[in-house]
């Protein structure tokens, strides 16, 4: 039997996972394990480029892991781990710093964006974190890295650095391909439908661990449009708020836009918005309850991240030893 192709993905636990993360990506991840050998990690080292509240970072890291499992990422079929528990990430990150050019790092869009947002804390890690991201990827010799538009630049840099290293020292790293996943619904903010749902706009963002009453309150306050007829119709250009709510309802119920228009014909937004809220509550209920159950079982959660780090560390160490030998470091 052919070996499965390797896929790797990491998300920073700098905040809570939300409905956009779930419907846009995580919902489809569970099925990947049948086709790929998958590594998913909580990118906690990357969060340190921005000041974090230590207790919140620990809570978000464990909560993210519990939610992954609750969303169908079976720890027996996927390698789930915390980035800082596999020290080879930081070690290879330093080596790759020495093979990544200053000009390449200074051109990174996210460095410019984050520098503008955190002008009081433009630190070295913020500048060099693409080298750590390259290490995150190359340690596992993956065939594919799932990326959205905002991360394509990082995968391109990773490929350039890997190629540079290979040209100098011979075949060391597999050159990964960006994997554009089949995206789910693109979910926009409930109170700013021209922007993607984001934890930076919490009132327009539904978090996966939100209580039902908070979810319903956010949907009742969701922006629709100034249309006096209050007609539920899919028209992203003139009715972006309504179109966003219809996308969410369609993703939760499996109904088409035409069926939703028929269902709410003549009922207006007063009936439609709470119905979307109810559909989201029922879709997220089993995930929230299962995540809470997992979080309460500290021994199980610890076992998952210990096993994950051990499996990841075994693979990562093989790559790191090869790299250390190639650059001339004395073997441990």
Cα separation, 101 vs 191, whole angstroms: 41
Cα separation, 233 vs 254, whole angstroms: 17
Question: Catalytic one among 27, 77, 196, 220?
Answer: 196
How many Cβ atoms sit within 10 Å of the Cβ of residue 55? 8
Q: How many CA atoms lie less than 13 Å away from 210 in the CB half-sphere?
A: 25
199 is catalytic: yes
Cα separation, 45 vs 129, whole angstroms: 9
In the sheet where 5-11 sits, what is the strand order? Answer: 78-82, 36-42, 5-11, 144-146, 177-179
Provide the token pair at 147. 């990326």
Return the closest-CA partner of residue 323 out of 97, 128, 147.
97
Dihedral (Cα; 258, 261, 262, 265), 10-degree rounding: -160
182 is catalytic: no
Residue by residue, what is the 3-state secondary structure of 272-330?
HHHHHHHHHHHHHHHHHHHHHHHHHCHHHHHHHHHHHHHHHHHHHHHHHHHHHHHHCCC
Question: Catalytic one among 27, 174, 199, 326?
Answer: 199
112 is catalytic: no
Helix (H, G, I), strand (E, B) or coil at 183: coil
Provide the token pair at 142. 């993956």
Enzyme catalytic residues: 114, 196, 199
């Amino acid at each position: 039997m052919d070996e499965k192709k390797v896929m790797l993905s990491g998300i920073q636990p700098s905040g809570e996972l939300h409905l956009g993360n779930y419907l846009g990506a995580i919902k489809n991840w569970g099925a990947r394990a049948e086709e790929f050998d998958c590594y998913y990690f909580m990118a906690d080292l990357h969060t340190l480029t921005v000041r974090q509240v230590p207790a919140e970072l620990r809570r978000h890291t464990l909560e993210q892991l519990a939610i992954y499992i609750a969303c169908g990422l079976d720890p027996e079929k996927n390698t789930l781990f915390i980035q800082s528990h596999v020290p080879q990430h930081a070690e290879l990150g330093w080596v790759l710093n020495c093979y990544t050019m200053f000009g390449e790092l200074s051109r990174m869009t996210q460095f410019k964006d984050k520098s503008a947002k955190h002008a009081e804390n433009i630190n070295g890690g913020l500048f060099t974190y693409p080298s750590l991201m390259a290490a995150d990827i190359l340690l596992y010799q993956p065939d594919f890295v799932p990326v959205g538009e905002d991360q394509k630049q990082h995968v391109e840099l990773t490929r350039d650095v890997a190629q540079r290293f290979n040209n100098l020292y011979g075949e060391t790293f597999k050159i990964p391909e960006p994997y554009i996943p089949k995206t789910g619904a693109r979910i926009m903010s409930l109170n700013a439908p021209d922007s993607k749902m984001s934890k930076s706009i919490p009132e327009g963002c539904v978090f996966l661990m939100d209580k039902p009453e908070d979810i319903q309150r956010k949907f009742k306050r969701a922006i629709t449009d100034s249309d006096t007829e209050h007609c539920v119709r899919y028209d992203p250009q003139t009715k972006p708020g309504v179109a966003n709510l219809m996308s969410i309802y369609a993703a939760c119920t499996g109904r088409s836009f035409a069926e939703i228009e028929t269902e709410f014909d003549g009922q207006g937004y007063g009936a439609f918005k709470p119905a979307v809220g109810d559909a989201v509550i029922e879709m997220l209920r089993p995930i929230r309850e299962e995540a809470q159950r997992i979080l309460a079982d500290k021994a199980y959660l610890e076992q998952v991240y210990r096993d994950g780090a051990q499996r990841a560390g075994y693979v990562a160490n093989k790559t790191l030893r090869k790299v250390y030998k190639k650059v001339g470091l004395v073997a441990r």
